[in-house]
Structure 1
């Protein structure tokens, strides 16, 4: 008897390229989620008394936690597995695939934990859930660093393996606020201009406020 499900990255996917850059954080403070795993395929055990593993849970683990690193499940993520479009949606901590409740998730510290409502032996469902896991670093002022996301699985029967993603998180420079200077000039000034002679536009003006540097 043999039961297993092994996922591998397709050529050109994020994980098969070794690293990918998190460019989603910028000086404006905009942060977006980056998909951890991209296109994958799978193999399962075949033969008499063999088949895919029965999975009860999985854990996505961050190798480091800078204090602003997060994992989540993308609501609305969709991918085609075995010719069928599988769509993941969330409501709070509950997770649905094609509008059917399949489990729930939580994130704490360095781990995203997902638990199935009942043991799942459908590799298509597990595959799209793994693809829907996303990463973000919410800091707008930190040096570049390397992050790794690995997966482990709880099963009631068999074993599961999945790729590990290596993430090169790009440098985000300090936020620089341009100086904003407000001038106030006495009212009632009349300017007289002469050809080829510089004219002071705000005679008697003084700086009312200065923000930034």
Structure 2
């Protein structure tokens, strides 16, 4: 069963179980509610149905243990993995930009990679003078295999984090799951397919430009970071 549907059913049944607890109890009103404004309403609900009462108690006890043993620990675990992926993606962008800066202009301000994580600033910086610095970065990677290897390591590290998330989080939205699977497939092709390895700098550059400039050859310019958006929706 879909986890979202299961949660909906559990939430919907809880008021019914609470009603059964109140209406079927041997005490028409529990001691701490006697004399309160809701006592008359509780008297009107009372029917003395012991079977309904026992089933309701069993359901509420089971729900309580499910919350503390399954749901809350799993939710905490999911949030830890999600936040870890979020931080890894942030570091990935900063590290990639730093490598591109070293490949294009060499020495640079230490805060510049963080600033260029903003896609508008990234496009403005690398896109000025007809993408002069962007092509300088690609040429730098072409003639410095060490920089290129560093770039591929960063891509592989992000892919490993995504793979870990896919293997350890139960996705409720198939679109998000498919998105991250496709991302891993694209990374695998970049590293292993003969089509991409023949001119690897070109294809890796296109891949990174799509992420850092938020550009899609299908949709055009995006106003939001699609990877960041999907991470938030996990």
- Do they superpose with TM above 0.5? no
TM-score of the superposed pair, with normalisation by structure 1: 0.22
If each structure's helix is expressed as a fraction of its own residues, which one has the higher value? 2
TM-score of the superposed pair, with normalisation by structure 2: 0.20
If each structure's strand is expressed as a fraction of its own residues, which one has the higher value? 1
